[in-house]
């Protein structure tokens, strides 16, 4: 068992100065926080000196874990030169060149500081380019905290509405009705209903926003048919297709769009492209991104940001991307495949009602055997399963492995097959204890 006395004492102080002693719901723990002190390779050492394998990677952003000497060396060098300037820096040019080279649909790039901002910018680009207001998104998909896109993530079926006309359900209390009026919700992976709903809103739609493997909606990949429908219909109605690749860029050298062979008009990026430092980017076709161009008078969209394109994030991002070779992606893919094979065998051996979704370096554990196709099926299948998965994550934490509370497991380049086997061994110890929880 792990000692916690330093974390307990620190949390006592935290409760006086932060609501519930915490600043990110995604890392909130009861009865107290566990505070990280440092990272090494794919491991986190907490302030009480306990070491655990990190299969969260700061929510998928640390694709090289904590061990990349190249990222550290680049960041150290930039630190000495200066960490932010009210001036452009060379790093933004190089990182953009890398992104343009990798992403088939991307010609121009602009930076911000988070995935939330990246999606917000993508929405503004679509509205400015089309002169329309409405944005469509898939039910249950998470796209950050911008009020337009954080709708319809509530796990309470009584608020959902009919499947062929899903309600835009507000997430934050006090969300204005005006915001909801401009959101159109479509069911994920439902070609027929999606086409019908989008067609009906036709001339009012600025863009359709899609994460092709939405984590909170189940981490089920989109079908090629669904994406082809979105590409075709957005073209027909004159709306932009926006890919949220804040997470899915880690699915391969050319992101999810490369994997599927579908070119969106706009792409939102974040997480891995900053090498572990704060970042977001909005990217896309030249004529679309021209809404930001100020060279012929006032641009259609204003965009600044005190820390946008700050050189620490640019330099670390360049080092991270350069290390993400085809071989690195093949390694990540092999880690994911080994995990899937071994965890599936373990579930069978222990007769655990469970399954795993996802692909490549991203997998999600579900403690049910229902057919998961979208947000509704995931929520309904896991009515109490979600609580069980959270309990399993806690048991794993005590066995030395960190996964997300919703069952997301994420792999990083410093991991070896031995680390995957250690993760599986922790599952083997934790799963039998689940019935006692
Ligand atoms: N889009 C997706 C698909 C995400 O998963 C996230 C964050 N998990 C965001 C956007 C928001 O990114 P950030 O937390 O950097 O604001």
φ, ψ of residue 315 to 5 degrees: the values are -65, -45
Q: What is the residue with the minimal CA distance to atom 7 of ligand 1?
A: 144
pLDDT digits (tens, 9 = 90+) for 178-187: 999 999 999 9
* Residue 341: per-residue pLDDT: 98
* Residue 414: per-residue pLDDT: 98
Residues 6+ apart with CB under 8 A from 297: none
Distance (Å) from CA 114 to ligand 1 centroid: 7
Number of H helices, E strands in the chain: 15, 14
pLDDT bin (cut points 50, 70, 90) of residue 162 is: very high
Q: β-pairing, 183-186 with 134-138?
A: parallel
Distance (Å) from CA 143 to ligand 1 centroid: 6
266-270 β-sheet, strand order:
108-112, 280-284, 266-270, 240-244, 205-210, 134-138, 183-186
Q: What is the residue with the minimal CA distance to atom 12 of ligand 1?
A: 115
Q: What is the residue with the minimal CA distance to atom 1 of ligand 1?
A: 143
- Write out the residue limits of the CATH 3.40.640.10 domain(s) in the chain: 69-323
Distance (Å) from CA 373 to ligand 1 centroid: 21
R_g over Cα of the chain? 22
pLDDT digits (tens, 9 = 90+) for 357-385: 999 999 999 999 999 988 999 898 876 67
* Residue 381: per-residue pLDDT: 87
Q: Can you tell me which atom of ligand 1 is nearest the CA of 245?
A: 3
pLDDT digits (tens, 9 = 90+) for 61-89: 999 999 899 999 999 999 999 999 999 99
pLDDT digits (tens, 9 = 90+) for 206-244: 999 999 999 988 999 999 999 999 999 999 999 999 999
Residue with token string 């297709």: 241
The fraction of the chain above a pLDDT of 70, given in percent, is 99
Which residue of 56, 115, 122 sits with most ligand 1 atoms within 8 Å of its CB, as the best mutation to test the pocket? 115
Between CA 157 and CA 155 the distance in angstroms is 6
> What is the DSSP code string of 163-211?
TTS-----SSTT--HHHHHTEEEE-TT-HHHHHHHHHHHGGGEEEEEE-
Q: β-pairing, 240-244 with 205-210?
A: parallel
pLDDT digits (tens, 9 = 90+) for 312-328: 999 999 999 999 999 99
pLDDT at 96 over 90: yes
* Residue 387: per-residue pLDDT: 87
Which residue of 143, 222, 282, 410 sits with most ligand 1 atoms within 8 Å of its CB, as the best mutation to test the pocket? 143
CB atoms within 10 A of CB 287: 11
* Residue 297: per-residue pLDDT: 94
Between CA 40 and CA 28 the distance in angstroms is 22
Average pLDDT over residues 31-42: 97
List Cα–Cα distances, 416 to 336, 341, 350, 365, in angstroms.
11, 15, 25, 20
Using alpha carbons, select from 73, 55, 74 the residue that is nearest to residue 65. 55
* Residue 383: per-residue pLDDT: 64
* Residue 67: per-residue pLDDT: 87
Q: Can you tell me which atom of ligand 1 is nearest the CA of 59?
A: 8
* Pure H helices in 18-54: none
Distance (Å) from CA 377 to ligand 1 centroid: 22
Residues 6+ apart with CB under 8 A from 324: 63, 253, 272, 413
* Residue 437: per-residue pLDDT: 65
- Write out the residue limits of the CATH 3.90.1150.10 domain(s) in the chain: 5-63+325-436
CATH of segment(s) 69-323: 3.40.640.10
Averaged pLDDT score across all residues of the chain = 96
Q: Can you tell me which atom of ligand 1 is nearest the CA of 114?
A: 15
Mean pLDDT lowest for which of 42-51, 62-71, 96-105, 153-162?
A: 153-162
Q: Can you tell me which atom of ligand 1 is nearest the CA of 115?
A: 12
* Residue 71: per-residue pLDDT: 98
pLDDT bin (cut points 50, 70, 90) of residue 268 is: very high
Angle between helices 69-81 and 311-323 (to 10 degrees): 160
Which residue of 58, 144, 218, 308 sits with most ligand 1 atoms within 8 Å of its CB, as the best mutation to test the pocket? 144
Residue 51, classed as helix, strand or coil, is strand
The fraction of the chain above a pLDDT of 90, given in percent, is 93
pLDDT bin (cut points 50, 70, 90) of residue 128 is: very high
Distance (Å) from CA 247 to ligand 1 centroid: 7
Distance (Å) from CA 432 to ligand 1 centroid: 33
Distance (Å) from CA 144 to ligand 1 centroid: 5
* Residue 384: per-residue pLDDT: 63
* Residue 386: per-residue pLDDT: 79
List Cα–Cα distances, 196 to 164, 169, 185, 230, 266, in angstroms.
9, 20, 12, 11, 23
pLDDT digits (tens, 9 = 90+) for 293-309: 999 999 999 999 999 99
Distance (Å) from CA 3 to ligand 1 centroid: 32
Distance (Å) from CA 433 to ligand 1 centroid: 32
ipTM above 0.95 for this complex: yes
Residue with token string 């006032």: 298
CATH of segment(s) 5-63+325-436: 3.90.1150.10
Residues 6+ apart with CB under 8 A from 172: 147, 150
pLDDT at 202 over 90: no
What is this structure's pTM?
A: 0.97
pLDDT bin (cut points 50, 70, 90) of residue 435 is: confident
* Residue 373: per-residue pLDDT: 87
Tallying the residues shown for the chain, one arrives at 437
Q: What is the residue with the minimal CA distance to atom 13 of ligand 1?
A: 115
Contact criterion met (CB below 8 Å) for 212 and 248: yes
Which protein residues are within 6 Å of ligand 1, measured from CB?
59, 114-116, 119, 142-144, 211, 215, 244, 246-247, 270
Distance (Å) from CA 82 to ligand 1 centroid: 28
């Amino acid at each position: 068992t792990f000692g916690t006395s330093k974390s307990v004492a620190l949390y006592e102080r935290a409760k006086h100065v932060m609501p519930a002693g915490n600043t990110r719901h995604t890392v909130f723990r009861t009865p107290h926080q566990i505070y990280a002190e440092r990272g090494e390779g794919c491991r986190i050492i907490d302030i009480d000196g306990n070491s655990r394998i990190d299969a969260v990677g700061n929510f998928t952003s640390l694709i090289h874990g904590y061990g990349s000497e190249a990222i550290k060396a680049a960041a150290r060098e930039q630190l000495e030169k200066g960490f932010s300037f009210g001036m452009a820096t060379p790093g933004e040019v190089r990182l953009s060149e890398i992104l343009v080279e990798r992403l088939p649909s991307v010609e121009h790039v602009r930076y911000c500081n988070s995935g939330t901002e990246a999606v917000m910018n993508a929405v503004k680009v679509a509205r400015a380019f089309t002169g329309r207001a409405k944005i469509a998104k898939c039910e249950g998909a998470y796209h950050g905290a911008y009020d337009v896109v954080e709708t319809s993530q509530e796990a309470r079926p009584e608020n959902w509405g009919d499947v062929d006309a899903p309600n835009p359900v507000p997430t934050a209390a006090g969300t204005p009705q005006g915001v909801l009026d401009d959101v159109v919700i479509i069911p994920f992976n439902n070609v027929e209903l999606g086409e019908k709903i989008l067609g009906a809103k036709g001339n009012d739609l600025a863009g359709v926003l899609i994460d092709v493997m939405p984590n909170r909606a189940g981490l089920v990949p989109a079908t090629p048919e669904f994406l082809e429908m979105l590409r075709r219909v957005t073209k027909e109605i004159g709306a932009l297709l926006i890919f949220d690749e804040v997470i899915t860029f880690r699915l391969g050298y050319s992101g999810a769009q490369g994997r599927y062979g579908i070119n969106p008009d706009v792409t939102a990026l974040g997480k891995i492209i900053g090498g572990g430092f704060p970042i977001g980017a909005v990217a896309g076709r030249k004529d679309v991104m021209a809404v930001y161009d100020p060279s012929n008078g006032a641009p259609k969209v204003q965009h600044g940001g005190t820390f946008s394109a700050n050189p620490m994030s640019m330099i670390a991002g360049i080092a991270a991307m350069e290390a993400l070779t085809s071989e690195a992606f093949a390694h990540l893919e092999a880690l994911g495949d080994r995990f899937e094979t071994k965890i599936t065998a373990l579930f069978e051996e222990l007769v655990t009602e469970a399954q795993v979704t996802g692909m490549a370096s991203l997998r999600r554990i579900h403690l049910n055997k229902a057919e998961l196709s979208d947000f509704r099926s995931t929520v309904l299948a896991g009515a109490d399963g979600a609580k069980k998965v959270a309990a399993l994550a806690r048991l794993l934490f005590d066995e030395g492995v960190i996964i997300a509370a919703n069952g997301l497991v994420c792999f990083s380049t410093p991991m070896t097959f031995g680390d995957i086997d250690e993760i599986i061994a922790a599952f083997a110890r934790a799963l039998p204890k689940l019935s006692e929880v």
